[in-house]
């Protein structure tokens, strides 16, 4: 099967570029290429398309081969760069390899081109796969694998940043802790697969209704948290009411409507706490108060105070 190969050729001469293309085509590639000869054209080509390979002459009139190589290496894409050049002597090859070229081939020795191309394409693919796996591992360290929401670790980091900003700027940040009511019954009756689907539905709904600056996270089990920067208690209470209304809409799982409700605890900085840890603790206390009293929303209050509660609508 013919593989498409997108090649960026950096060369002054059409003839030399055509020789490279013919060599690649003879090896079985469907070659899509662009030839450039100046730094500005090279930059435009790098930004304008996706390339599998860059092939450059070492001796160019408008831009040096090393300068062209550096432009390619500075681009975010990992593009193998091979010099195919008529410049004689070992010094040019040594300079090219020190600058980061993946190979240096004399124009009179093009039999070396295809083995070099295949090797560099394999190595580039391996590097991409390694980066993909590293990025996936890093993502999973801070996100819940079921809902892809931030996990407790990332929530704490964002909450701590929001608290510091609020204290520095004399602002506000609210934290909502949400626990689902009726979720255990879904798991017991319909199985954990149905329960997982409900959690995904709830996560998607909450994520879709919040601002870009807000954070919704899964703390574990059927417990979620929402960080609302620049939000006072009144605004946070309104948001909590909207969240409860949204998640109480039925989730259709396997053609079956499943319904959960929620209990929300609310705490605010600086009214209730001036640190992320204490804010989480107090929002959690308020959530358990809302749950035990079977009301929709409870705002944290100390033992000397009577908690402010808001009953569910409907």
Q: In a 3-state reduction of DSSP, which class is residue 191?
A: coil
- Give the position of tokens 């609310």: 266
Question: Quick one: which of 103, 113, 85 has its CA closest to 12?
Answer: 85
- How would you classify residue 91: left for phi > 0, otherwise alpha for psi between -120 and 50, otherwise beta? alpha
State how far the alpha carbon of 162 is from the alpha carbons of 88, 155, 207, 257, in Å: 61, 10, 18, 37
Catalytic residue among 52, 179, 222, 284: 222
DSSP 56: E
Per the CB < 8 A criterion, the answer to whether 21 and 33 are in contact is: yes
Quickly count: other Cβ atoms within 10 Å of residue 304's Cβ: 5
Q: In a 3-state reduction of DSSP, which class is residue 82?
A: strand
Residue 185 to residue 187: CA distance in whole angstroms: 5
In the residue annotation, 222 being an active-site residue is answered as: yes
Per the CB < 8 A criterion, the answer to whether 106 and 85 are in contact is: yes
Which residues carry out catalysis?
A: 222
């Amino acid at each position: 099967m013919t593989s498409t190969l997108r090649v960026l050729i950096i060369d002054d001469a059409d003839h030399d570029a055509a020789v490279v293309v013919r060599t690649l085509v003879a090896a079985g590639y469907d070659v899509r290429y662009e030839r450039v000869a100046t730094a500005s054209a090279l930059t435009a080509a790098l930004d304008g398309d996706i390339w599998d390979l860059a092939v450059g002459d070492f001796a160019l009139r408008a831009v040096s081969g090393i300068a062209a190589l550096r432009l390619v290496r500075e681009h975010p894409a990992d593009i193998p760069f091979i010099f195919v050049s008529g410049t004689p002597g070992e010094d040019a090859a040594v300079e090219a390899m020190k600058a980061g070229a993946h190979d240096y081939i004399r124009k009179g020795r093009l039999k070396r081109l295809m083995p070099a191309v295949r090797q560099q394409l394999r190595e580039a693919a391996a590097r991409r796969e390694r980066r993909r796996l590293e990025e996936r591992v890093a993502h999973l360290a801070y996100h819940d694998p079921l809902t892809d929401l931030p996990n407790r670790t990332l929530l704490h980091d964002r909450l701590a940043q929001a608290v510091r900003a609020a204290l520095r700027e004399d602002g506000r940040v609210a934290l909502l802790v949400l626990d689902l009511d009726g979720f255990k019954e879904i798991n017991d009756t319909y199985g954990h697969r149905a329960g997982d689907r409900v959690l995904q539905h709830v996560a998607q709904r909450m994520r879709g209704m919040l601002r870009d600056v807000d954070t919704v996270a899964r703390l574990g089990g059927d417990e979620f948290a929402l960080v609302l920067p620049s939000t006072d208690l009144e605004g946070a209470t309104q948001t909590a009411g909207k969240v409860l209304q949204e998640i109480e809409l039925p989730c259709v799982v396997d053609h079956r409507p499943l319904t959960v409700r929620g209990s929300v605890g609310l705490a605010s900085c600086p009214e209730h706490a001036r640190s992320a840890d204490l804010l989480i603790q107090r929002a959690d206390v308020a959530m358990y108060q809302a749950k035990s009293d079977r009301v929709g929303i409870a705002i944290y209050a100390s033992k000397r105070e009577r908690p402010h509660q808001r009953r569910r609508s409907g």
